[in-house]
Amino acid sequence: MEYKLTYNKYTEALKEGKFLGLKCNQCGAYTVPPKKVCMECSSEDMEVVELSGKGKLQTFTVLRVPPEGFEAPYIVAMVETKEGPWVTGNLVGVDPDKATMNLMGREVKVGAKAVPGDKFSGGDMMALTFSLVG
């Protein structure tokens, strides 16, 4: 069966402001970032859906020593989406010098930004972004 939500389709949607995922028709679980089968029950019977973009920040770090191609400081975070899956991206709109553990548990809104590719990345990339809500 054809790959339902490819990296290309997923990132093209992010460029249009849509955060897509997969909903399993067998067990109801959501999968994002996309996979061939449902993350919970391994069924291929999934449909592409637009996710709420709501989530809760679970953990983060302020990167001070970046890899080639990135400029520090910046915040990387893991967010638990309202639909269940966790995703990794950049917390934006927060001064990295003022980031503390109080961020953990805060509500966020998921967005995306373009990231220029390098000679290893196979083209330009899209990173998820998280903005604090409230």
Partner 1 sequence: MANLREVAVVGIGHTKFGNLDKTNIELFSEAAMDAINESNLKPKDIQALYFGNVLGTHEEGQLGMAAFAAADIGIPYIPTTRIEGICASATVAIREAFIWVASGFYDIVLAGGTEKATVMGTSYATRTFMMGSDSRYECPAGITFPGVFAMMTYLYSKKYGIPLDVLKDQMHAVPIKNHANGKLNPKAHLQSSIRDIMEKQKAKAKEKGKPVPTWNNEMDFLHDLSANMMVAEPLQLYDCCPFSDGAAALVIVPLEIAKKLTDKPVIIAGVGQCSAGPIHNQKDISRVISREFSAKQAYDMAGLTPQDIDVCELHDCFSIAEIVATEGLGFFDFGKGAEAVAKGETKIGGKIAINPSGGLKSKGHPIGATGASQAYEIAKQLRGECGPRQVEGAKVGMTDTLGGDLCTVANIIFKRGW
Query: Which stretches of the chain bind partner 1, using CB under 8 A?
Result: 7, 33, 39, 58-70, 74, 76-78, 80, 85-90, 99, 101, 104, 115, 118, 120-121, 125-128
CB of 25 to partner 1, least distance (A): 21
From 66, 119, 111, select the one nearest 89 (Cα to Cα): 111
Which residue has tokens 């067998």?
Answer: 26
- Of residues 35 and 44, the one with the C-beta less far from partner 1: 35
Q: Looking at the chain, how many residues does it have?
A: 134
State the Cα–Cα distance between residues 87 and 84, nearest whole angstrom.
Answer: 10
CB of 71 to partner 1, least distance (A): 9
Which token pair is 1?
A: 């069966």
CB of 47 to partner 1, least distance (A): 20
